[in-house]
Structure 1
Amino acid sequence: MLPKGFLQGGPLLAGLVFALSMPAFDAVADTSPPGSTGVTVADPAVPRPPGTPCAVQLYSDDTFADFSTHPYTYAPPEGCGTRWSKVVLEADFSVTAGRQFDRTAEIWLDGVNLYYGTTQEPSATVSPSWHVERDLTDYSALLRQAGNGQVILGNVVNDTYTGVLHGSARLLFYPATAAAPAPRVPDAVLPLGSDPVGDATLLDDGNSKLSRSLDLPRNVERAYLDVFAQSQNADEFWYTCVPDQYAARVQECGGGNFREAEVSIDGQPAGVAPVYPWIYTGGIDPYLWRPTPGVQALNFMPYRVDLTPFAGVLSDGNPHEVALSVAGAHHYFLASASLLLYLDPHASRVVGGIVKNTLAGQPPTPTIGDTLVTDADGNVSGDITTGLSRHFVIEGYANTSHGRVNTRVEQTVGFDDTQSFTIDAATYRQVTDQTTSVDSVSQSRVGRFVTSELRQSLRYPLHLDYSFQTTDDGNYIQATLLHQGYTNDSDHRLLGRTIYAAKVSNTVDASDTLDFDANFSVIGHSNQQNMQSFAFHDSLGGCYRKDVASVGGVVTTNAEGMGCPNGQNQVWWFSHPDGSPDGGNSLLGW
């Protein structure tokens, strides 16, 4: 028999009953019609429960033309209660036509990140506008109290860079109802950064860290860390770099191409977060991303690290340093992390400890190899390979009001990269094939009963074929062919049985050829094509599918619902079709 109180009043049963009896809702996405030149994406919107939300405007039509921060004050919605079935951030951005770089955009509240992404580059004739959303239900504890926030969107406007950015954002709160009950959410949301209002932290190399010493409640029973790690500066194109010993030979950036975020508690390895190879809308060739940007370029998804094995340690009444670094960082990464804590409502103190940690002693040191050959004429050909695979188990226990809970996090994290080169007097060609993978199982056990289990499998594939050639007339062409993907398969289990499973797939395929004159000035481009496919389905019948395509920067296809029942997109309000972190709270109540 499970200890009394384990299911905490039965939200599991309630969630399943309503999930199976309520209708599904459309996940409305971008609706740019064929012929459009505006930003066009296949990503789903955050699905909503029924009912009218309460709205809180964070800022409205702010202008971003310099590097000043934009503060705002926040107050919870009046007359909307303090428990919500869903909280959604909606943000809208635009940039005037002209010349402008892609810029990093961040929204913060009391040091906690609410949104992280980059902007769309404009053209001389197109002024892009775009809409992003983020599910912030798990941040409800933060949003129950008034606070101070700021928007960071640094921009330069002058005679050369003329595009002016504008933006607005609001929070929508959906009151809990019998049909859409409030999920169990973290009781505390704590930032790691030092800025009390909020800002990303610069990590210049692998030894730099984002850290904070925290005095935590003494009744922590679960803990998670939401992580963003964004490449910048010399590290923007880290996925094409090579180890230093090869850099001059193949005319590439040094520092290697392995990147991984490392999480530690009091200096002890506590988890890892894969780094996604985001490509911004000015990356490689700006025409690749008009009108469809790369995967998540406008709206990064955080990676959630399960720190629950450390719940007993974090509850011991002593201050604890929680830290984040990026292995391989080579000038530099910007990092943000938020600690999410679930507290035992029926105990003033939780006691526990770590019983196993095999991640300790496994440094993130990849294996390097090559088949490079340089011939008598100085031509270079061959591959440089980088690989790393680690399997680890972290186990801990916590004595809670519902018994001794043993938590085990088991992961296999992999990184496999091949850089292939063909370099001669007329051609420079580099082909990047890279896959980052994570296979994980987070399992909680009371006695001999496996009470909850989350299985997750992520894949970040990247294929980039880049060629720069001299033409017969002394000019140059740059041809780029790119495939970028994101898959996230999850399986929630209770007492050994699958309760809910979901699959997310997001791919972008793009190509273009740039023409340069003898002075390396762009004189035109050709053969631009872009296609994004986004698919989601779950074990309760939820289904979303959208495909968008363009040729020459003009939308040619915008199709929804292919392969879904009745050819229509329908997803449940509690689901996460965008691939955002999902602990099962809305459905399972744990």
Structure 2
Amino acid sequence: MLPMGRFSQCLAAAGLSLFFAGVAQAAPASSNPVGSANVTVADPTVPRPPGQPCVVQLFSNDTFDDFSPRPYSYAPPAGCGTHWSKVVLEADFSVTAGVQYDRTATLFLGGVNLYFGTTQEPASDLAPSWHVERDLTDYSALFRNPAQGQALIGNIVNSTYTGVIHGSARLLFYPASVLAPAAAVPDAVYPLGSDPIGSTVELDNSSSQLAATLSLPRNVERAYLDVFTQSQNADEFWYTCVPDAYTSETGECGGGNFREAEISIDGQPAGVAPVYPWIYTGGVDLFIWKPTPGVQTLNFMPYRVDLTPFAGILSNGSPHTVAVSVQGANNYFSATASLLVYQDARAKQVSGQVLRNTLANQPPTPTIGSTLSQDPSGDVTGDITTNLSRHFVIEGYVNTSHGRVDTTVNQTVVFADTQGFTINPTTYDQTSDQLTTVEGSSRSTIGALVSGEFDESFSYPLHVESNQAVVANGNSTILTTIRQGYDQHTALSIEGLKLYSADVHNQVEGVDTLDLDASYDILGHSGQQTTQEFAFKDSLGGCYRSSVSSANNVVTAYTSGKGCPGQRNRVFWFSHPDGSPYLGDTLLGW
């Protein structure tokens, strides 16, 4: 953790104005997109430190028209050192005009995931392009040695599906300087999964696992797991599914709508990673997402799980299996995860144990309720509810070169979902209201001294309303309304002093009406409107705000900086306005 007072000393020495170098921008930043049908989002780019970066091109203008991986070789940037203030991935993608599904896109290096997202769907007269960035500073240890990587964007191109995807990606390394010191990053990064170059693992059911048996250093002080779990195939619309007992009444997919990633070490429950309900650009109603896709659709953020209470066990010299499963998976989820390890630089061997783990006695079994009723004519009305709330504490210690460090992870995870139905011969109305919340803290002590405390909360609200009306000739209309959000609060304290806090708010709302024939072929659509609002603020005065609105699939309004002081986005280069994970010392890094 950061020594007391050092942060304020750094700010005083450098001056606040210099620390605003590399202000995050919304995409696109170079021009006003009003009137454009191309991809337009309110998300910030990754803020940058001062100075010129060293650049390593991973691949350039590769073509993705089949399911084969596109390999690339990586070598560290020459003459740029091995410790950087920041490492950023930049990637640009496009798809030619025509017909094409949304596709999953991943980049890997040495088995470790660098990027996970999906692609935009084209139109017959639109070839969309988009830009994504990811802060990979915490993965710096991976980039110090040559490695093999690959890009995977499985795509079918034939006489029906004509859209060809192209992509380029590069890594930017910002050399450490007086104004931007080298980040205090993990000492090692370990991928889960068996592919040495890297790929996702398919989790077909609750028993399927993404796992790795690792022989770790014997001086692990802290450990964290970055987790991605993405719904696929029959699980793509998991948030609309119902328990199997109600599929015949509702006509919906079965398996229920509770999904949650479970983390284990040697079979013992070790943490929870809630599943974010990402909606892809062909999802529910494909016209809603042109030109602005859903929350994080093109660029997923990993969920970071604190495994530090297990550091002493991980350091005992025996191999340990770290695994991820998805409770409720119903064919299927794609998963990838990376273990980040900090080592005690002054000790070759540490020791320790887990003292308490109340998660081990709390299986992820939700409570199901129903008020569904069916009258003699067959009409169905009522609600199905799914709820699960778990509070758990995991406590462990590790004997280090600077004393015994006790770490307590205290977390409450709540899942609440209500699905309402009105079904009769001319109407099929379904409303899904889902909310996942997390309230948690990680607290470390050395004796009676609180050496660090990291608090975080998340909220994932989702509202999906589908109102289908059938007309006399058998044709129908479906009015779809979607509200999707991502809210995050984080706070870092040291020795009882609140040092830093930040809030991220990302919300997308969309509406559209589909016109369908009796075979459910799309005849047209009308009334498309979508808005996205993105806001970030922190306790140091950093502020980012942006919004975009569209109607009839063309951008109608765009703002950037409105609501921030001076109507300008200003954030510190070391902050995480996009909502990517950090743990305090990797944020401040000195």
- TM-score range (shorter-chain normalised) is over 0.9
* Cα drift, residue 549 of structure 1: 0.3
SS at the partner of 1:541?
coil
Rounded to whole Å, the distance in 1 between the matches of 2:286 and 2:399 is 55
TM-score by length of 2: 0.97
Between 427-436 and 25-34, report the one with greater CA deviation. 25-34
Rounded to whole Å, the distance in 2 between the matches of 1:23 and 1:145 is 30
25, 29, 43: which one aligns with 1:28: 25
Contact 1:258 1:386 in 2 (8 A): yes
Contact 1:15 1:587 in 2 (8 A): no
Q: Specify the code of the residue in structure 2 equivalent to 1:330.
A: N
The residue aligned with 2:358 is 358
Does residue 335 of the first structure (1) align with residue 332 of the second (2)?
no
Contact 2:26 2:560 in 1 (8 A): no
TM-score by length of 1: 0.97
The residue aligned with 2:88 is 88
* Distance change in 2, residues 1:13/1:216 (3 Å): farther
* Cα drift, residue 21 of structure 1: 5.8
* Cα drift, residue 19 of structure 1: 7.2
* Distance change in 2, residues 1:327/1:434 (3 Å): same
CA deviation digits over 1:421-474, x for unaligned, max 9? Answer: 000000111000000111000000011111101100100000000112102443
SS at the partner of 1:581?
coil
Rounded to whole Å, the distance in 2 between the matches of 1:420 and 1:236 is 20
The residue aligned with 2:66 is 66
Rounded to whole Å, the distance in 1 between the matches of 2:521 and 2:343 is 59
Contact 2:574 2:588 in 1 (8 A): no
* Distance change in 2, residues 1:409/1:19 (3 Å): farther
* Distance change in 2, residues 1:37/1:21 (3 Å): closer
* Cα drift, residue 535 of structure 1: 0.1
Q: What pairs up with 1:193-342 in 2 under 5 angstroms?
A: 193-342=193-342
Q: Specify the code of the residue in structure 1 equivalent to 2:66.
A: D
SS at the partner of 2:309?
helix
Q: Specify the code of the residue in structure 2 equivalent to 1:227.
A: V
Contact 2:369 2:386 in 1 (8 A): yes
Rounded to whole Å, the distance in 2 between the matches of 1:558 and 1:518 is 38
The residue aligned with 1:77 is 77
Does residue 476 of the first structure (1) align with residue 476 of the second (2)?
yes
Q: Specify the code of the residue in structure 1 equivalent to 2:444.
A: S
The residue aligned with 2:583 is 583
Contact 1:19 1:587 in 2 (8 A): no
CA deviation digits over 1:182-226, x for unaligned, max 9? Answer: 110000000011000000001000000011111000000000000
Contact 1:182 1:586 in 2 (8 A): no
Rounded to whole Å, the distance in 2 between the matches of 1:121 and 1:589 is 39
Q: What pairs up with 1:421-460 in 2 under 5 angstroms?
A: 421-460=421-460
* Cα drift, residue 248 of structure 1: 1.2
Q: Specify the code of the residue in structure 1 equivalent to 2:24.
A: A
Contact 2:460 2:485 in 1 (8 A): yes
Contact 1:16 1:587 in 2 (8 A): no
* Distance change in 2, residues 1:559/1:424 (3 Å): same
Q: What pairs up with 1:5-16 in 2 under 5 angstroms?
A: 12=7, 15-16=10-11
CA deviation digits over 1:114-167, x for unaligned, max 9? Answer: 000000000110100000000000000000110000000000000000000000
* Cα drift, residue 572 of structure 1: 0.3
Contact 2:19 2:179 in 1 (8 A): no
Rounded to whole Å, the distance in 2 between the matches of 1:355 and 1:145 is 37
CA deviation digits over 1:7-65, x for unaligned, max 9? Answer: 57986465554474634142112135110000000000000001100000000000000
Rounded to whole Å, the distance in 2 between the matches of 1:387 and 1:485 is 19
Q: Specify the code of the residue in structure 2 equivalent to 1:353.
A: Q
Between 463-472 and 428-437, report the one with greater CA deviation. 463-472
Does residue 112 of the first structure (1) align with residue 115 of the second (2)?
no
Contact 1:121 1:282 in 2 (8 A): yes
Rounded to whole Å, the distance in 2 between the matches of 1:105 and 1:518 is 34
Rounded to whole Å, the distance in 1 between the matches of 2:409 and 2:239 is 28
Contact 2:2 2:494 in 1 (8 A): no
Contact 2:4 2:495 in 1 (8 A): no
Aligned residues with identical type, % of pairs: 63
Rounded to whole Å, the distance in 2 between the matches of 1:195 and 1:183 is 29
Q: Specify the code of the residue in structure 2 equivalent to 1:153.
A: I
The residue aligned with 1:171 is 171
* Distance change in 2, residues 1:21/1:37 (3 Å): closer
Rounded to whole Å, the distance in 1 between the matches of 2:171 and 2:539 is 29
Contact 1:221 1:398 in 2 (8 A): yes
Between 403-412 and 471-480, report the one with greater CA deviation. 471-480
SS at the partner of 1:360?
helix
The residue aligned with 2:347 is 347
Contact 1:149 1:197 in 2 (8 A): yes
CA deviation digits over 1:276-333, x for unaligned, max 9? Answer: 0000000011101000000000000000000000000100011101000000001110
Rounded to whole Å, the distance in 1 between the matches of 2:250 and 2:495 is 54
CA deviation digits over 1:325-360, x for unaligned, max 9? Answer: 000001110100000000000111111000000000
SS at the partner of 1:331?
coil
Contact 1:310 1:353 in 2 (8 A): yes
Rounded to whole Å, the distance in 1 between the matches of 2:588 and 2:90 is 26
Rounded to whole Å, the distance in 1 between the matches of 2:248 and 2:6 is 60
SS at the partner of 1:359?
helix
Does residue 157 of the first structure (1) align with residue 154 of the second (2)?
no
The unaligned stretches of length 5 or more in structure 1 are 1-5
Q: Specify the code of the residue in structure 1 equivalent to 2:35.
A: G
* Cα drift, residue 376 of structure 1: 1.1
The unaligned stretches of length 5 or more in structure 2 are none
* Distance change in 2, residues 1:9/1:110 (3 Å): farther
Residues matched between the structures, number: 585
Rounded to whole Å, the distance in 1 between the matches of 2:114 and 2:316 is 30
The residue aligned with 2:373 is 373
Q: What pairs up with 1:527-566 in 2 under 5 angstroms?
A: 527-566=527-566
* Cα drift, residue 586 of structure 1: 4.1
CA deviation digits over 1:368-398, x for unaligned, max 9? Answer: 0000110111000000000000000000000
SS at the partner of 1:67?
coil
Does residue 136 of the first structure (1) align with residue 136 of the second (2)?
yes
The residue aligned with 2:99 is 99
Contact 2:4 2:494 in 1 (8 A): no
SS at the partner of 2:156?
coil
Contact 2:139 2:189 in 1 (8 A): yes
* Distance change in 2, residues 1:480/1:346 (3 Å): same
The residue aligned with 1:3 is none
Rounded to whole Å, the distance in 2 between the matches of 1:11 and 1:162 is 57
* Distance change in 2, residues 1:502/1:132 (3 Å): same
Contact 2:444 2:452 in 1 (8 A): yes
Rounded to whole Å, the distance in 1 between the matches of 2:227 and 2:545 is 27
SS at the partner of 1:154?
coil
Contact 1:15 1:589 in 2 (8 A): no
* RMSD between superposed Cα atoms in Å: 1.3
Q: Specify the code of the residue in structure 2 equivalent to 1:201.
A: V
Rounded to whole Å, the distance in 1 between the matches of 2:561 and 2:552 is 25
SS at the partner of 1:509?
strand
Does residue 394 of the first structure (1) align with residue 394 of the second (2)?
yes
Contact 2:227 2:336 in 1 (8 A): yes
SS at the partner of 1:330?
coil
Rounded to whole Å, the distance in 1 between the matches of 2:4 and 2:240 is 52
Q: Specify the code of the residue in structure 2 equivalent to 1:29.
A: A
